[in-house]
């Protein structure tokens, strides 16, 4: 009898409703079972979900469903990272309100996620723009402020003079604002900072404990924190600087190269530079030019080296008769070290480029192994490797490390103007985190500015400081600034009229603690520490590599800050981290006008082994291009909803988890999707056939014939292997095994179905197959599970018991005698040695019980025959 085709559309909706009606995925904090927290990075509600989301959430869902089936109380929540610029851009462009736009997008995307059949606890859902959420964030802000973790300082920002807004570094493209195209200026603004640098060393040290993180991410975090051990050194001015300073303090990590010094460099923002500029117009122009480069370290690093000779001279600390010029140089940052350097062109590329440009000496002091001191010479490339120190007086012949030690000790014991000339110092690249944004759609910073009392924390009883709804986006700038009344309030200290802070928080703040909020999302405090400590750290966090640095670092800082302020009892938020690869697709261009066209707009045919693409509408030729990350700009996107509506969510889930290892990119192809869809259909047919041809509820026979035993072996081995795959996030391996297993089950249908042992084995295989498929294709699994006559939900069914005996290759069963009487059986490899058997027997429960802690008097092993233990 031909079975009807599997109708994913109807079936999926039916099971989703059943799960929802029965609260199958609701998680109870009081459930006494062991807890497991799996979390995927929550989405930004941009409008619609994309395939990257599908892949990310499918992976998390497999983990959640699998862990649930192995007896854990699983927390698998979902929310929305909902504040940010795109909502304001939409407001400006489409005349919609950011709030309406955001919540509408959330509604759409929630529907899309639900259509994927994700096993989420939707009762815990929140958006970071919910007043409830950001009210708690304001509480955290006040607690951090009180704990000394937040301060205010002036700092430079990228200012877009047309949009009248501060731009993030990524929004500055070639020195121009990304939206307005205006030349970006540097402005000094007073901003709020989180003191992440208090934790630099701790954040670095703890990376070593994160052994379930990808090595790559750990390294990126280490580099970002950037610990440098070095020396601060005073260079005495020949004549005092106009600031009155008699010596210039620099920071170096290479004091071993001091004899290769060529000049000193000051940051354009150094106080001495500023003082000199007061009376020097040329220098003022130079500084202005430097500022156009932008504020990023990368921009500064790659820009052409520019310098300005100040005319100031300093004495070399190891040879007072040696004078060196002092330049202002555009590659020196004010907020690192001391904002001043000594330059050794032979061993630092930036210094070398600079020296070439301004015709300054280049003297090598590190000799690479195998080079001759008489002929070694640095031309266009600085030598930064290992070697032996030469041309360097008392350091000659030393290794770099020994020379560093020797010169540091020497300069520490020397003094200038009564202070030590050198002092060892550790510096970190990690800067404090500036969180002020001059935007509307973010969490208001709960501060009130009073002319008399200065900035005051908003009283806790007055929280939340709520965003006003009546704002306009018809002009650039921050709508909160020009709101007629919102700013006006009174000083909590003196009661005088005062103004609210109109800056809102960087949206990275919102995502730095959402994982903690999920553990008790409706609590009147930011967390219930008990619940949070029980759930956290997140056992498995899954997301994109693009968040490998900032988001993870900020979350690690927040967890520490929340620990300090009593909201959490731990310092590391994410125990396991997994970064998934991207979803890629071929690109297409219409040949006539070279514009990108979408996969849905074209048709591909194969003629004599050559793929030929044409536009569906006009039949025009289309050029097939390279395979790239799905992106709107190249139009090489496939809409998940189209796929789900055509083939079903299970097909999409199966496909995104199938072809590549999850950490690698996957190429989305129509053929691949069809393959997945055909597999879904095939499984459905096979299960129906089993259900029709065999009786359910057959009792387990005492003996199994060869056919049945062979199938049972495959079933249990596959169960064990797939369990391992899921535990190690090897989704593609599990898929490959399930394809094979499906073949084995299909073949077993040819066996003699009148035999009870075969029927039992076949039913067992079919049930097990559903247990293994449920994490990936949950709707199909529920449907088949019910067709097989089960009345429970597979989503709530435990992973099958694996019979270890069936995993052992080529085993025999030996009777166990205790004092000559048969008491049990031992299953062991046929070729096990006498010693192996003896070792196994002493661990067998029957023997352990009989011995009752005593040593056996005698163990007699007759390999292949019998074991007798005398107690
Ligand atoms: C002399 C020298 C010789 C240096 C040499 C390097 C190589 P990290 O490793 O990042 O800590 N430096 C110090 N302060 C700076 C600033 N504010 N802006 C730009 N560069 C600065 O780098 C430390 C090195 O970067 C320091 O060691 C200094 O140059 C430079 F063969 O001193 B070095
Ligand atoms: Zn006041």
Q: Which residues contact 698 (CB under 8 A, 6 or more apart)?
A: 756, 759, 760, 763
Give me the DSSP letters along 560-600: HHHHHTTS-S-S-SEEEEEEE--EEEEEEEETTT--B--GG
23, two tokens: 């609260």
What separation in Å is there between the alpha carbon of 689 and the centre of ligand 1?
A: 73
695, two tokens: 């009786």
Q: Which residues line ligand 1 (CB under 6 A)?
A: 228, 251-254, 257, 331-333, 336-337, 339, 341-342, 344, 347-348, 427
Atom nearest to 347 CA in ligand 1: 31
The DSSP bridge partners found for residue 227 are 428
Q: Which residues contact 610 (CB under 8 A, 6 or more apart)?
A: none
What separation in Å is there between the alpha carbon of 424 and the centre of ligand 1?
A: 14
Give, in order, the Cα–Cα distances in Å from 584 to each of 47, 630, 669.
Answer: 20, 5, 9
How far apart CA 114 and CA 816 sit, in angstroms, is 55
Give, in order, the Cα–Cα distances in Å from 699 to each of 25, 702, 703, 799, 801.
Answer: 32, 9, 12, 20, 16
> Which bound ligand lies closest to the C-alpha atom of 255?
1
Residue of 336, 352, 360, 389 to test ligand 1 pocket, by largest number of atoms within 8 Å of CB? 336
> Which bound ligand lies closest to the C-alpha atom of 499?
2
Q: Which residue has the tokens 């050029």?
A: 623
List the residue whose alpha carbon is closest to atom 29 of ligand 1. 252
The residue among 738, 743, 753 whose CA lies nearest residue 690 is 753
- Determine how many CB atoms are found less than 10 A away from the CB of residue 655: 27
Q: What is the pLDDT of residue 4?
A: 79
Residue of 224, 253, 351 to test ligand 1 pocket, by largest number of atoms within 8 Å of CB? 253
| Residues 346, 351, 356, 362, Cα dihedral to 10° | -30
Q: Which residue has the tokens 């085709």?
A: 5
Sheet holding 185-194, edge to edge: 165-167, 150-160, 185-194, 433-434
365, two tokens: 């002091």
Write out the H or E segment, with its range, that includes residue 235.
strand 227-236
What are the average pLDDT values for consecutive 10-residue runs of the chain, which has 871 residues?
80 98 97 98 95 96 98 98 93 92 97 98 98 98 98 90 79 80 88 96 98 96 95 97 96 98 97 97 93 69 90 97 97 92 97 96 97 94 96 97 97 94 95 92 98 97 97 89 96 98 96 98 98 98 92 97 98 97 91 90 90 91 92 89 95 95 92 96 97 93 93 97 97 98 97 95 98 98 97 97 87 86 85 85 88 89 84 85
List the residue whose alpha carbon is closest to atom 32 of ligand 1. 252
Sheet holding 319-329, edge to edge: 307-316, 319-329, 263-266, 340-343
**In this structure, are residues 545 and 217 in contact, taking their beta carbons and an 8 Å threshold?**
yes
The DSSP bridge partners found for residue 541 are 39, 577
What separation in Å is there between the alpha carbon of 253 and the centre of ligand 1?
A: 6
List the residue whose alpha carbon is closest to atom 28 of ligand 1. 252
What separation in Å is there between the alpha carbon of 230 and the centre of ligand 1?
A: 9
How far apart CA 847 and CA 826 sit, in angstroms, is 11
How far apart CA 351 and CA 365 sit, in angstroms, is 14
What separation in Å is there between the alpha carbon of 255 and the centre of ligand 1?
A: 10
Decide: helix, strand or coil at residue 557. helix
What separation in Å is there between the alpha carbon of 411 and the centre of ligand 1?
A: 18
- Its pTM stands at 0.87
What separation in Å is there between the alpha carbon of 275 and the centre of ligand 2?
A: 35
Atom nearest to 338 CA in ligand 1: 17
> Which bound ligand lies closest to the C-alpha atom of 230?
1
Sheet holding 454-457, edge to edge: 454-457, 447-450, 497-500, 488-490
How far apart CA 559 and CA 550 sit, in angstroms, is 14
> How do beta strands 574-580 and 538-544 pair?
parallel
What's phi and psi for 818, nearest 5 deg?
A: -115, 120
How far apart CA 794 and CA 778 sit, in angstroms, is 8
Sheet holding 574-580, edge to edge: 73-75, 35-40, 538-544, 574-580
Residue of 249, 271, 331, 348 to test ligand 1 pocket, by largest number of atoms within 8 Å of CB? 348
Q: What is the pLDDT of residue 417?
A: 86
Q: Which residues contact 256 (CB under 8 A, 6 or more apart)?
A: 365, 366, 389, 392, 395, 398, 400, 403, 404, 407
> Which bound ligand lies closest to the C-alpha atom of 492?
2
Give, in order, the Cα–Cα distances in Å from 236 to each of 242, 249, 314, 317, 323.
Answer: 14, 9, 5, 8, 10
- What is residue 162's DSSP assignment? T
The residue among 508, 468, 511, 506 whose CA lies nearest residue 126 is 511
List the residue whose alpha carbon is closest to atom 12 of ligand 1. 341
List the residue whose alpha carbon is closest to atom 26 of ligand 1. 252
**Measured in whole angstroms, how far is the alpha carbon of residue 286 from the centre of its chain?**
41
Residue of 341, 352, 386, 425 to test ligand 1 pocket, by largest number of atoms within 8 Å of CB? 341
Q: Which residues contact 546 (CB under 8 A, 6 or more apart)?
A: none
What separation in Å is there between the alpha carbon of 490 and the centre of ligand 2?
A: 8
How far apart CA 231 and CA 250 sit, in angstroms, is 8
How far apart CA 491 and CA 501 sit, in angstroms, is 12
> Which bound ligand lies closest to the C-alpha atom of 454?
2
- What is residue 395's DSSP assignment? G
> Which bound ligand lies closest to the C-alpha atom of 490?
2
What separation in Å is there between the alpha carbon of 458 and the centre of ligand 2?
A: 12
How far apart CA 766 and CA 363 sit, in angstroms, is 77
How far apart CA 357 and CA 327 sit, in angstroms, is 13
List the residue whose alpha carbon is closest to atom 18 of ligand 1. 332
Decide: helix, strand or coil at residue 123. helix
Q: Which residue has the tokens 């759930």?
A: 535
Give me the DSSP letters along 473-534: -SSSS-HHHH-SSTTEEE-TTT--EEEE---EE-HHHHTTSHHHHTTSTT-SSS--HHHHHH
What separation in Å is there between the alpha carbon of 246 and the centre of ligand 2?
A: 42
What separation in Å is there between the alpha carbon of 297 and the centre of ligand 1?
A: 13
Atom nearest to 331 CA in ligand 1: 19
């Amino acid at each position: 009898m031909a079975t009807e085709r599997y109708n994913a559309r109807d079936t999926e909706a039916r099971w989703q409703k059943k799960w929802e009606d029965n609260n199958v995925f609701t998680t109870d904090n009081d459930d006494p079972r062991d807890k497991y927290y799996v979390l995927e990075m929550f989405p930004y509600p941009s409008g619609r979900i994309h395939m990257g989301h599908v892949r990310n959430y499918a992976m998390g869902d497999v983990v959640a469903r699998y862990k649930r089936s192995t007896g854990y109380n699983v927390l698998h929540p979902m929310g929305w990272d909902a504040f940010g610029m795109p909502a304001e851009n939409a407001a400006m462009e489409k005349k919609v309100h950011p709030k309406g736009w955001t919540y509408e997008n959330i509604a759409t995307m929630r529907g899309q996620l639900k259509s994927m059949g994700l096993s989420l606890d939707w009762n815990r859902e929140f958006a970071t723009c919910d007043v409830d959420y950001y009210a708690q964030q304001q509480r955290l802000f006040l607690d951090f402020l009180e704990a000394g973790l937040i301060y205010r300082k002036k700092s430079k920002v990228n200012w877009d003079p047309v949009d009248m807004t501060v731009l993030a570094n990524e929004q500055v493209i070639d020195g121009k604002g990304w939206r307005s195209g205006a030349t970006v200026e540097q402005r000094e603004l007073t901003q709020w900072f989180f003191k992440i640098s208090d934790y630099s060393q701790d954040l670095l040290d703890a990376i070593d404990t994160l052994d379930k993180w990808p090595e790559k991410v750990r390294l990126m975090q280490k580099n970002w924190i950037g610990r440098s051990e070095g020396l601060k050194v005073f260079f005495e001015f020949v004549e005092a600087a106009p600031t009155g300073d008699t010596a210039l303090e620099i920071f170096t990590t290479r004091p071993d190269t001091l004899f290769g010094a060529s000049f000193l460099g000051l940051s354009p923002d150094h106080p001495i530079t500023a003082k000199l500029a007061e009376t020097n117009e040329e220098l003022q122009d130079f500084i202005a030019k430097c500022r156009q480069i932008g504020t990023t370290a990368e921009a500064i690093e790659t820009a052409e080296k520019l310098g300005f000779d100040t005319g100031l001279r300093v004495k070399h600390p190891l040879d007072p008769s040696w004078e060196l010029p002092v330049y202002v140089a555009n590659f020196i940052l004010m907020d690192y070290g001391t904002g001043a350097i000594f330059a050794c062109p032979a061993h630092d590329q930036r210094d070398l480029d600079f020296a070439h440009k301004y015709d300054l000496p280049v003297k090598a002091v590190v000799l690479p192994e195998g080079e001759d001191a008489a002929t070694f010479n640095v031309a266009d490339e600085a030598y930064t490797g290992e070697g032996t120190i030469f041309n360097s007086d008392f350091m000659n012949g030393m290794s770099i490390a020994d020379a560093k030690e020797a010169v540091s000790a020497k300069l520490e014991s020397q003094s200038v103007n009564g202070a030590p000339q050198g002092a060892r110092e550790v510096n970190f690249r990690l800067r404090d985190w500036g969180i002020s944004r001059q935007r509307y759609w973010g969490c208001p910073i709960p501060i009130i500015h009073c002319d008399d009392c200065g900035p005051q924390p908003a009283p806790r009883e007055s929280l939340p400081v709520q965003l006003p709804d009546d704002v306009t986006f018809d002009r650039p700038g921050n709508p909160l600034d020009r709101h007629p009344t919102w700013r006006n309030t009174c000083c909590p200290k003196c009661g005088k009229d005062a103004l609210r802070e109109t800056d809102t928080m960087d949206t990275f703040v919102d995502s730095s603690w959402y994982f903690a909020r999920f553990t008790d999302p409706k609590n009147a405090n930011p967390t219930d520490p008990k619940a949070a400590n029980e759930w956290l750290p997140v056992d498995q966090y899954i997301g994109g590599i693009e968040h490998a640095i900032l988001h993870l670092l900020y979350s690690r800082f927040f967890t520490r800050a929340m620990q300090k302020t009593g909201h959490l009892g731990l310092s590391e938020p994410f125990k396991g981290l997994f970064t998934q690869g991207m979803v890629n697709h071929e690109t297409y261009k219409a040949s006539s006008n070279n514009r990108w066209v979408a996969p849905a707009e074209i048709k591909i045919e194969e003629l004599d082994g050559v793929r030929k693409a044409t536009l569906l509408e006009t039949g025009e030729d289309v050029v097939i291009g390279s395979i790239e990350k799905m992106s709107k700009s190249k139009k090489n996107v496939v809409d998940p909803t189209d796929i789900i509506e055509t083939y079903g969510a299970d097909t999409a889930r199966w496909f995104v988890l199938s072809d590549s290892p999850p950490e690698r990119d996957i190429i989305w192809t129509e053929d691949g999707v069809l393959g997945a869809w055909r597999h879904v259909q095939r499984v459905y047919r096979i299960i129906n056939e089993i259900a029709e041809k065999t009786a359910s509820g057959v009792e387990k026979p005492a003996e199994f014939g060869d056919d049945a035993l062979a199938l049972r072996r495959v079933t249990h081995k596959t169960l064990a292997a797939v369990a391992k795959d899921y535990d190690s996030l090897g989704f593609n391996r599990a898929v490959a095994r399930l394809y094979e297993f499906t073949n084995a089950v299909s073949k077993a249908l040819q066996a003699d179905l009148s035999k009870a042992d075969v029927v039992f084995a076949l039913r067992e295989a079919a049930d097990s197959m559903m247990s293994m498929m449920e994490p990936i294709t949950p709707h199909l699994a529920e449907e088949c599970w019910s067709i097989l006559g089960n009345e429970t939900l597979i989503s709530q069914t435990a992973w099958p018991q694996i019979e270890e005996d069936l995993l052992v290759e080529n085993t025999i069963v030996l009777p166990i005698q205790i004092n000559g009487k048969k008491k049990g059986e031992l299953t062991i490899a046929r070729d096990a040695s006498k010693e192996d058997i003896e070792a196994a027997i002493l661990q067998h429960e029957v023997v352990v019980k009989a011995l009752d802690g005593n040593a056996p008097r005698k163990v007699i092993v007759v390999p292949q025959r019998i074991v007798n233990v005398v107690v």
